[in-house]
């Protein structure tokens, strides 16, 4: 099944490519998990025609697009009815000209059919026949897109704003924590932490990737929060490093998460990263549990809360 991911492997660049791996002053992953590399931007046509963008764009933008398409379909039909002449439509004369034709088109496309205005000639009946199938197809397209937008498997993981380096079982540990920001249950949550930093190799300063061993890399349940811990023992690439050294090496901690969304039984992915400046040394995360009247409750608002330790 081919050679698998080997963090020790010299040329391991995770797919960012050699050019980017040599590039400095560049964060690889943004905090929201998107890639900090730009492809040529898609053309407008690619954007509109792309199913992926129709599914991933925001709801307001989506509804705006639907609205534009609604007019873009009705205006040509309205024009066709208009140029078919005054005898093309019979009935209600309270409106005239193009507007009358436009509202008749809406009446037809949306399959309302009040009947106050009706097609009066062979040509207009034929136009109605065509517009009706556009109406039916549009409902199908919109229903399909709306469902696809809904059913898209997404995780909304909230990560602590900062990672900390804190005492951990007689050693220190690199830690960050996360909560599930949705109401759905995530199970079998899997974390991978990769340290990207610049090192001098063969006389050249180049980006090197290190896989950080975790105290626990998978949790079966994720009802509340999870603090991911990399113990900094002698095997750790962070052993003996300091805040200054970490910054100087332009270090970045890449966080890759997969989990199973129980509602749809799909695998969801989440990514983020912490740059050296987002790591707080000699601090620990505050307790997220509050005791009130003998009952423990959990406060997700405290996700980012950190207590500085006296060093």
Site string for a second copy, 280-299 (x = CB under 8 A): -------x-x------xxxx
Stretch that binds a second copy, among 12-20, 158-166, 198-206, 235-243 (CB under 8 A): 12-20
CA–CA distance, 30 with 171 (Å, rounded to integer): 30
The residue (of 98 and 243) whose beta carbon lies closer to a second copy is 98
For 284-293, which contacts have Cβ atoms below 8 Å and span 24 or more sequence positions? 284/164, 284/166, 284/167, 284/175, 284/309, 285/160, 285/164, 285/166, 285/175, 285/177, 285/227, 288/224, 288/225
Question: How many residues bind a second copy, per CB under 8 A?
Answer: 121
Which of residues 269, 286, 304, 309 is near a second copy by CB under 8 A? 269
**263 binding a second copy? (CB under 8 A):** yes
* Chain residues 225-254 in contact with a second copy, contact rule CB under 8 A: 225-226
Q: Should residue 20 be labelled a site residue for a second copy when binding is judged by CB under 8 A?
A: yes
What's the closest the beta carbon of residue 163 comes to a second copy, in angstroms?
18
3-state secondary structure of 96: coil
Least Å distance, CB 170 to a second copy, is 14
Using alpha carbons, select from 243, 231, 245 the residue that is nearest to residue 279.
243
Which residue, 50, 51, 14, 8, is CA-closest to 29?
14
Choosing from 45, 60, 72, 133, the residue that interacts with a second copy (CB under 8 A) is 133
Q: Using CB under 8 A, which residues numbered 104 to 123 contact a second copy?
A: 106-116, 118-122
Q: How far is the CB of 136 from a second copy (least distance, A)?
A: 6
* Interface of this chain with a second copy, residues 142 to 171, rule: CB under 8 A: 142-153
Q: Between 169 and 308, whose beta carbon lies closer to a second copy? A: 169
**Pure H helices in the chain:** 18-22, 44-49, 51-56, 59-83, 97-109, 122-151, 243-248
Closer residue to a second copy in complex, CB, 126/244:
126
- CA dist., res. 131 & res. 123, Å (int): 12
Binding a second copy by CB under 8 A: which of 32, 262, 304, 307?
Answer: 262
**Residue closest to 174 by CA, chosen among 163, 188, 190, 183:** 163
The region, left, alpha or beta by phi > 0 then psi within -120 to 50, assigned to residue 44 is alpha
Decide whether 16 or 174 has the Cβ nearer to a second copy: 16
Does residue number 68 form part of the binding site for a second copy (CB under 8 A)? Answer: no
Smallest distance, a second copy to C-beta of residue 76, A: 16
Shortest Å, Cβ 251 to a second copy: 18
Question: Taking the mean position of all CA atoms in its chain, how far away is CA 256?
Answer: 13
**Helix or strand run (H / E) with residue 154:** none
Q: Is 204 in the site for a second copy (CB under 8 A)?
A: no
């Amino acid at each position: 099944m081919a050679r698998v991911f080997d963090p020790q492997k010299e040329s391991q660049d995770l797919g960012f490519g050699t050019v980017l791996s040599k590039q400095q002053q560049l964060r690889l992953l943004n905090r929201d998990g998107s890639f900090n590399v730009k492809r040529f931007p898609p053309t407008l046509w690619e954007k509109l025609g792309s199913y992926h963008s129709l599914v991933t764009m925001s709801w307001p933008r989506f509804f705006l697009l639907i609205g534009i398409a609604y007019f873009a379909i009705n205006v040509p039909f309205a024009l066709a009815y208009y140029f078919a002449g005054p005898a093309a439509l019979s009935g209600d004369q309270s409106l005239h000209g193009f507007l009358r034709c436009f509202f008749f088109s809406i009446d037809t496309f949306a399959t309302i059919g009040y009947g106050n205005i009706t097609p009066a000639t062979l040509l207009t009946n034929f136009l109605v026949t065509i517009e009706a199938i556009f109406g039916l197809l549009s409902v199908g397209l919109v229903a399909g897109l709306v469902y696809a937008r809904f059913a898209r498997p997404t995780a909304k993981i909230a990560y602590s704003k900062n990672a900390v380096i804190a005492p951990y079982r007689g050693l220190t540990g690199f830690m960050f924590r996360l909560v599930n920001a949705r109401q759905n249950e995530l199970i079998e949550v899997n974390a991978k932490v990769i340290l990207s930093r610049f090192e001098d190799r063969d006389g050249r300063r180049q980006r090197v990737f290190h896989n950080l061993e975790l105290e626990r890399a998978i949790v079966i349940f994720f009802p509340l929060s999870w603090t991911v811990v990399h113990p900094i023992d002698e095997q750790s690439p962070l052993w003996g490093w300091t805040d200054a050294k970490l910054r100087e090496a332009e270090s970045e901690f890449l966080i890759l998460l997969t989990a199973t969304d129980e509602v749809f039984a799909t695998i969801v992915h989440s990514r983020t990263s912490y740059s050296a400046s987002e790591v707080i040394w000699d601090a620990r995360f505050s307790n997220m549990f509050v005791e009130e009247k003998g009952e423990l409750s959990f406060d997700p608002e405290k996700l980012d809360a950190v207590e500085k330790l006296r060093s």
